[in-house]
Structure 1
Amino acid sequence: MFAAEIYRQRRLNLVRQLKGGIVLLLGNVASPFNAADNCYRFRQDSSFLYFCGLDQPGLAVILDVDSGRETLFGRRQNLDDLIWSGPQVTLQERAEKAGIARSTELSELCEILSTAVAGKREVHYLPNCRAENKIILGDLFGRSPDVISQGVSPELIKATVALRSIKSAEELTQLDEAADLGYQLHTTAMRMAQPGRYEWEIAGELEAVAARAGRMLSFPPIVTVHGEILHNHDRNSQLQQGDLLLVDAGVESTLHYASDHTRTSPVGGRFSPRQKDIYQVVLATMECARELIRPGMTYLDVHLAACRTLVEGLQSLGLMHGDAEKAVVAGAHALFMPHGLGHQLGLDVHDMESLGEDFVGYDDNIRRSSQFGLSSLRLGRELQKGFVLTVEPGIYFIPALIAQWQDEGRHADYINYAKLEKYLNFGGIRLEDDIVVTISGNRLLGRPLPLQIAAVENTLNLVDKNGQDYS
């Protein structure tokens, strides 16, 4: 945990943005996968972590906006707990670690909320993606879990997003820590990109890298030779010489801050000339974005500028033609990159996504587009110092999408469908780094991963055909 004063100040900053009522911060509960005592690895709710720092199941906090009173709710340890789990710190000791003066039994929570509702006081709570927590909220408020999301507080969401979007120095230290271990994650995957390996072997080793460091992955990793499938979690393919291996993976810091990197590597150690051509276009697109990211720029404008660079690169290869600016305005580039340039990063890999992407990535000035491809841009708003975000351009050759657009004659003024026939089995290339917006630009988080073609190939070729690592 950070110092108690950090959490106390965060909660104070939160309630100052609210007009009145009480705030319910609900932590996660243990989730069994085949028996009550046999649970998945626990992961605390990220907003609860941000405001309270307590990383144990079955906790809740009430903040009284009007009186300033704070209370931690939980279950006190009994003899059975002591026998099976050993001595634990007391509930009051947990409260004090978070800078909360008072603690009491979880059983009192329902009565307090009922009293507040009966007194017509506003009860603020956040959206929750966990089914168990929806049931708990439903029980607390006497409503069906199916409709409990209708009572969430937009006021609390906006206040939470405003605070969590700006990362403090302590948070940046955690994010650098996560990115440093991300370096080990991805260089391990690169060195395993050898013919005969299976995708699941590499994915398993990524889990092991995190586990050996006492950490957990920040999301289920994408490890695939079918990079044209954007979120491909099938890991049954055996790597062949000449394949491209796309690995999109991240790991958490000790306090659960996330990394999120992507690298695409040539199986066997060398890119083909055609693979190099596409890789260089993706790299140039990333470099364009990095040059533009600074306070005051909107990420929408950065995305569009990066897409123009992507189009110009594809034009140089004969895959697109016409006016690059008009092609981007029309959305023709989305055939090759049907997703956004990046998203915020923090305690969640898609930071605060459960609170609602439009609350996090957009505002009254920048609205989400409905255009194919651009509608998938998770972050469009104006950037501020302290924002942490990903930069992740890609080029994908998706046969079904190409066939549909070609049949419809879509964007034929900009796309060379005849030449695309030779790329239908290419796959996809994505590159992704994590950065923080600084006062005058941006900086990379953590140790830089191999990115240039020569650096990637050199990393892969530290391993011989027998798997011996010469690093």
Structure 2
Amino acid sequence: MFSPKIYKERRNELKKKIKSGLILFLGNDESPMNYTDNTYRFRQDSTFLYYFGIDEPNFAAIIDIDENKELIFGNDFTIDEIIWMGPQKTVKQKASRCGVKQTYSMSELENILKNALSKGRKIHFIPQYRHSNMIKLQILLGIDATRINDYASPELIKAVAEQRAVKSREEIEEIEKAISIAYEMQVSAMRFTKPGMIEKEIAGFIEGIAISMGNGLSFPVIFSKHGETLHNHYYGNKLKAGDIVVNDSGAESFLHYASDITRTFPVSGKFSQIQKEIYEIVLLAQLTAIKSIKPGVSYKDIHLKASTVIAEGLKALGLMKGDIKEAVKQGAHALFFPHGLGHLLGLDVHDLENFGENNFGYDNKIKRSSQFGLKSLRYAKALVPGIVITVEPGIYFIPQLIEKWEAEKKFEEFINYQRLNLYKNFGGIRIEDDILVTNNGSRILGKPIPKSIEEIEEVASNKI
């Protein structure tokens, strides 16, 4: 945990933004895999962690705005639980570590909330993503569990999102700890991967690094020679010389701050000429985007700038044609780049995602597009200092999408389908780093991870 002062300052800042009522925070509970005592690895709710820091199941908290009180709810371990789990600190001791003095058993939570509701007081809560907490809120507040998120507090969503989006010095340090683990995950994978191996051998090796150095993965490893499948979690392919693989993976620090890094590298250690050509376009798009990041610039504009670099590079290879500005405006480039440039990063690998992207990534000035590719941009607003965002352009050759667009004669004025048929088995390339928006520009966080063709070939050729 951070110091109690940090959690108190965070709660005090939140209190300034909520006018009245009670703010209810539900921590997460254990989630069984196949029977009650055999659970998945516990992961605390990130907003609960942000304001209270208690990284254990079966906790809740209330901030009473009107009475300026902070309450934590939890149960001390019974002797039977201590036999299985060992000695534990009391709820009051745990609460003191985040600067909260008043504690109650979980059974008191319902009574306090019902008393508040009987007096017509507002109960604020954020959107829920776990069904167990949706059911819990139904019991506590009398709202149909299937409609819980319809009643989430817009006022609280905005306040928490604004606060969590801008990272403190301590948070940046935690993210960089997570990136230092990702460095090992990426470099070790380049050296470990050899022709004849099955993808799962490397995916398991990568996950082992995350577990041994931090709090495990920040999301399931994406490791595949079929990089054209954006989130490919299938690890059954056998690798051969000439293949390239996408390694999109990240770790959590011990305080649950995430990293998210992608590198694409050749299995044999050397790119082919055609792979180099596509890789250089993606790298130039990424470097151009990073250079463009500064406060006040909308991330949508940076996404479109990276898209233009990609389209221009593909035109130089004869895969696109015509007026490139118009091609990007109409979305023809999205055949090759069908996702957004990046997303926020913090306590969640897609930070604040459970709040709904339109609630934090868009505003009255920048509305979400309905255009294929651009509609997948998770964050589009103007950047502000302290935001951490990923920059991850890619070029993908998706056979099914190519065939569909060609059959529809879609964007024939911009796409050279005849030449494109030569690339159908290429796969995909993505390059991703985690970027801090500074007061006058940006900074790539963490130790530099090999990214140029020369750097990657040097590491990937030095097998272990």
Aligned pairs for 1:156-167 (under 5 A) are 156-167=156-167
Asked whether the 8 Å contact 2:214–2:251 carries over to 1, the reply is no
3-state DSSP class of the match of 2:264? Answer: strand
Cα distance in 2 for partners of 1:47, 1:215 equals: 18
Runs (4+) off by over 4 Å: none
1:386 aligns with 2:394: no
Q: Corresponding residue for 1:230?
A: 230
Q: Does 1:314 align with 2:314?
A: yes
2:445 maps to 445
Distance 2:401 2:361 in 1: 27
Gaps of 5+ in 2: none
- Contact 1:193–1:265 (Cα < 8 Å) also in 2: no
Query: 1:466: which partner in 2?
Result: none
Alpha-carbon deviation of 1:367? 1.0
Residue 228 of structure 1 contacts residue 398 of structure 1 at CA under 8 Å; is this kept in 2? Answer: yes
State the partner residue of 2:102: 102
SS of residue paired to 1:247: strand
Q: Which amino acid aligns with 1:365?
A: K
Cα distance in 2 for residues equivalent to 1:208 and 1:198: 16
2:25 touches 2:125 (CA, 8 Å); kept in 1? Answer: yes
User: What are the equivalent positions in structure 2 for 1:406-421 lying under 5 Å apart?
Assistant: 406-421=406-421
Whether the aligned pair in 2 keeps the contact of 1:242 and 1:271 (CA below 8 Å) is yes
Matches within 5 A, 1:190-229: 190-229=190-229
CA-to-aligned-CA distance 1:24-64 (integer Å, 9 cap, x gap): 01100011112211111111000000011110100000000
Aligned residue-pair number: 464
Distance in 1 separating the partners of 2:135 and 2:33: 17
Contact 1:193 1:245 in 2 (8 A): no
**Residue of structure 2 equivalent to 1:54:** 54
Q: Which deviates the most, 390-399 or 357-366?
A: 357-366
Give the Cα–Cα distance (whole angstroms) in 2 for the partners of residues 424 and 213 of structure 1: 39
Q: How does 1:10-21 map to 2 (within 5 A)?
A: 10-21=10-21
CA distance in 1, matches of 2:386, 2:143: 39
Code of the residue aligned with 1:145 in structure 2: it is: A
Cα distance in structure 2, aligned partners of 1:17 and 1:365: 22
Please tell me the root mean square deviation across aligned C-alpha atoms, in Å.
Answer: 0.8
Match of 1:87, SS state, is coil
1:362 maps to amino acid: Y
Q: Distance in 1 between matches of 2:316 and 2:213?
A: 44
User: What does 1:302-341 correspond to in 2, within 5 Å?
Assistant: 302-341=302-341
Post-superposition offset of 1:254 = 1.3
Give the match for residue 132 of structure 2. 132
Number of the residue aligned with 2:244: 244
Unaligned runs of 5+ in 1: 464-468
Q: Aligned to 1:146, what secondary structure does the other structure show?
A: helix
Give the Cα separation in 2 of the matches to 1:89 and 1:214.
23
Identity in percent:
49
SS of alignment partner, residue 20 of structure 2? coil
| Cα separation, 1, equivalents of 2:460 and 2:237 | 19
SS in 1 for 2:146: coil
Q: Could you tell me how far 1:118 is from its partner in structure 2?
A: 1.4
Moved more, 128-137 or 312-321: 128-137
1:15 aligned counterpart, secondary structure: helix
Q: Are 1:434 and 2:434 matched, yes or no?
A: yes
Per the TM alignment, residue 78 of structure 1 is displaced from its structure 2 partner at its CA by 1.3
CA distance in 2, matches of 1:180, 1:458: 20
- Cα distance in 1 for residues equivalent to 2:190 and 2:395: 20
Q: Measure how far apart 1:142 and its partner are.
A: 2.4
Task: Note the C-alpha offset of 1:365.
Answer: 1.3
Instruction: Report the AA paired with residue 287 of structure 1.
Output: L
Q: CA deviation at 1:212?
A: 1.4
Distance 1:123 1:28 in 2: 19
- In the TM superposition, residue 214 of structure 1 has moved relative to its aligned partner by 4.1
Query: When the two structures are superposed, what TM-score results if normalisation uses the length of structure 1?
Result: 0.97
**Amino acid corresponding to residue 403 of structure 1 in structure 2:** E
| Aligned residue type for 2:430 | R
The equivalent residue for 2:351 is 351
Report the counterpart of residue 85 of structure 2 in structure 1. 85
State the Cα deviation string for residues 181-231 of structure 1 (Å, max 9, x = none).
Answer: 110011111112210111101110111101212421000010111011111
Report what 1:462 is aligned to: 462
2:10 is the alignment partner of 1:2: no
Cα distance in 2 for residues equivalent to 1:158 and 1:404? 40
